[in-house]
Amino acid sequence: MQKRKLGKSNLEVSAIGLGCMGMSFSYGPPKDKQEMISLIRTAVERGVTFFDTAEVYGPYTNEELVGEALASFRSQVVIATKFGWKIDSKAERGLAGLDSRPEHIKEVAEASLKRLKTDVIDLFYQHRVDANVPIEDVAGAVKDLIQQGKVKHFGLSEAGAKTIRRAHAVQPVAAVQSEYSLWYRNPEKEVLPTLKELGIGFVPYSPLGKGFLTGKIDENTTFDHSDFRNQLPRFTPEARKANQALVDLLGKIAQRKKATPAQVALAWLLAQEPWIVPIPGTTKLTRLEENIGAAAIELTPDDLRDIENAASQITVQGARYPEHIEQMSGR
Positions marked catalytic: 57
- CB-count exposure of residue 304 (10 Å: 0-12, 13-18, 19+): middle
Which ranges in the chain belong to alpha helices (H)?
33-45, 61-70, 102-115, 135-147, 161-170, 191-198, 237-257, 261-272, 285-293, 301-311, 323-326
Peptide bond just before 301 cis, omega within 30 deg: no
- CB-count exposure of residue 33 (10 Å: 0-12, 13-18, 19+): middle
224 close to 28: Cβ distance less than 8 angstroms:
yes
Cα-to-chain-centroid distance, residue 291? 14
Reported as half-sphere exposure (CB side, CA atoms, 13 A), residue 92 has a value of: 6
- Using alpha carbons, list the distances in angstroms from residue 129 to 11, 37, 138, 327: 23, 31, 9, 10
The Cα–Cα gap between 61 and 107 comes to: 17
The Cα–Cα gap between 308 and 188 comes to: 13
Q: Which of 138, 124, 150, 158 is nearest to 55 (CA)?
A: 124
The Cα–Cα gap between 151 and 144 comes to: 9
The Cα–Cα gap between 287 and 14 comes to: 17
Task: Give the 3-state secondary structure of residue 29.
Answer: coil
The Cα–Cα gap between 154 and 190 comes to: 20
The Cα–Cα gap between 37 and 285 comes to: 12
